[in-house]
Amino acid sequence: MHRYLKNNLIILVFINSGFVFGYIFQLIMARTLTPAEYGSFNSLNSISMVLSVPFTVLPIVFARYTVELADTGLGKLKNLLFKSSLFMLKVWIVLMVFGFFLLPGIKSYLHLDSFIPILIVFLDMLLILILSIMFGILQGLKRFFPLSMGHSGYAVIRLAAGILLVSFWGLAVNGALLAGTIGTGVVIIICYFVLRDIFISKEIVLAKSFYQEMIRYAFPVLIAITMVKLIMTLDMVMVRHYCTEDDSGFYATASIIGRLAFSLPAVLVIVLFPEVSKHSGKSSENKHLWITLGLTAIIGGGITIVYVIWPEWIIMILFGRKYLAGSPFLQIIGANMALLATANVFFTYYLANLNYKFLIPLIGGVFLMVGLTLIYHENALMIAKIQMISVVCVSIGSLAIFVTDNSKKSRCKKATIY
């Protein structure tokens, strides 16, 4: 258990430090680039993020099946790494063929002077695909220190490359985008050395059915990730649509800060997932669950308390006095995100156990949020409260599934004894 707590601390410190360096990178780019260049840079980043949403399942899927293969030797993991990377390369090539036909349209729509920024984004997507596989294998092998260093190292390398390429060499948007590509490439090289024992092992070919099982598992993972993202972001879209432009701006600042109550403790599930996958069906898995749930509640709850007591001070420090009207939103959004972070611990637990019943309350919560907002949207505060209702319902539903499943297990054990 000491090792489990140590791994949580490593993940918590290093991955969240990566978020800090990422924020510093954005501040430096905002100050160095012109407003038009910074707008183009973030537009291209947004396109990359949208296109990469299906790829967010890769670390979870590969972590789950790496746990399954880890005890059988490294030869099967070598086949998993090589064959999956080759498959992703083929997928990328197919996507790029379609992408090249869209180049003129993307260039025109974003008012770009060159195709080069778009090509850099395309290259970055390939590297992200490969890195996601490597990160998933590292997570499944429980090599949390190199995994966390990879996350934070990427942010540091991108920051250093961005300063060099943009501030000193004047490469503007191309330099800002290339900084991320360089960061991803360097981390891939580092991961190669960390996983070198896999690369030098004798390859053992996995059955085709194994990969088919992985693909089937990817679908519920994708649904879960998408639903969580929708709960976190739909409120901003609704506020933008139904409320004034000023309220939309105030709400956006509160939402950006409020999400820290989710993102800071959410990294803890990286340690929980492989532990539960390995001990699935054993009593020790619940011990890991309660530890992660407790740590998440303490961190998320602590952040929420700070938001409730000093909302004006936090907003003024980070965004300035003109955004102080967002204080009431911050108090509610912070609580919503902290509660969603605790519910996300259950989601991770269920996915590790191949239990998909939690998708019912999760999907239902999204529809509830949209439905209530369509009826009640008098002001931004009302929409934030509707998000709270949705998160509470999802959390209760997830907890109810856990209690019900454990009650069934207890009854089965008693029946077996008698």
Please name the residues in contact with 343: beta carbons below 8 A apart, sequence gap of 6 or more. Answer: 391, 394, 395, 398
pLDDT over 80 (residue 52): no
Domain assignment present for 214: no
Average pLDDT over residues 52-80: 89
Report the domain count for the chain. Answer: 2
Q: What is the predicted pLDDT for the residue at 288?
A: 87
* Domain co-membership, 199 together with 260: no
Q: 156 and 20 in one domain?
A: yes
User: Which pLDDT belongs to residue 387?
Assistant: 94
Arithmetic mean of pLDDT, 40-64: 82
Same domain, 187 and 287: no
pLDDT tens, residue by residue, 92-137 = 898 888 888 888 888 887 778 888 998 998 899 899 999 999 999 9
pLDDT band at 241 (very low <50, low <70, confident <90, very high): confident
Counting runs of H as helices and runs of E as strands, what totals does the chain give? Answer: 17, 0
- Residues 6 or more apart from 86 whose CB is under 8 A from it? none
Residue with the larger pLDDT of the pair 42 and 82:
82
- Pair (177, 301) in one structural domain: no
Query: Does residue 363 sit in the same domain as residue 263?
Result: yes
228 and 377 part of one domain = yes
Last residue of a domain, one of 145, 177, 206: 206
**How is the chain split among helix, strand and coil, in percent rounded to 5?**
90, 0, 10
Q: Is the pLDDT of residue 240 over 60?
A: yes
CA–CA separation, 12 vs 191, rounded Å? Answer: 20
Evaluate if residue 42 carries a pLDDT over 90.
no
211 within domain boundaries: no
Instruction: Select from 206, 238, 265 the last residue of a domain.
Output: 206
pLDDT tens sequence across 293-308: 999 999 999 999 999 9
The angle formed by the CA atoms of residues 295, 19 and 384, to the nearest 5 degrees, is 70
**Tell me, what's the pLDDT at 412?**
58
The residue type at 130: I
For residue 128, give the nearest of 65, 209, 61, 188 by alpha carbon.
188
CB 124 within 8 A of CB 184: yes
Percent of the chain at pLDDT above 90? 57
How crowded is the C-beta side of 292, counted as CA atoms within 13 Å? 32
**Is the residue at 270 inside a domain?**
yes
pLDDT digits (tens, 9 = 90+) for 310-337: 999 998 887 778 888 889 999 999 999 9
- List the one residue out of 214, 231, 243 whose CA is nearest residue 325: 243
Same domain, 199 and 226: no
Residues 288 and 391 in one domain: yes
Can you tell me the mean pLDDT for 246-250?
80
3-class state of residue 244 by DSSP: coil
H helix or E strand, kind and range, residue 206 = none
Among candidate residues 147, 179, 206, the one where a domain is terminated:
206
- Does 166 share its domain with 255? no
Residue 413 included in any domain:
no
pTM attached to this predicted model: 0.86
- HSE at residue 318, side-chain half, CA atoms within 13 A, is 21
Q: In this structure, are 321 and 233 located in the same domain?
A: yes
DSSP readout, 136-153? HHHHHTT-HHHHHHHHHH
104: Cα within 13 Å, side-chain hemisphere: 1
- Condensed to tens digits (0 to 9), the pLDDT of residues 365-412 reads 999 999 999 998 888 899 999 999 999 999 999 999 999 987 776 665
C-alpha 263/C-alpha 266 separation (Å) is 5
Return the structure tokens found at 398: 């997830």
168-218 tens-digit pLDDT: 998 888 999 999 999 999 999 999 999 999 999 999 999 999 999 999 999
Q: From the centroid of its chain, how far is CA 53?
A: 10
Whether residue 177 is contained in a domain is answered as yes
The answer on 175 and 85 residing in a single domain is: yes
User: What pLDDT does residue 34 have?
Assistant: 84
Identify the pLDDT of residue 282.
Answer: 57
The chain-wide mean pLDDT, for the chain, equals 88
Residue 362, pLDDT above cutoff 70: yes
Is 234 inside any structural domain?
Answer: yes
Assess whether 264 and 167 both reside in one domain: no
Q: Is residue 213 part of a domain?
A: no
Containing structural domain, residue 159: 2-206
Question: In this structure, is residue 414 part of a structural domain?
Answer: no
Q: Which amino acid is at 19?
A: F
DSSP string, 84-125: HHHHHHHHHHHHHHHHHHHHHHHHHHTT-S-SHHHHHHHHHH
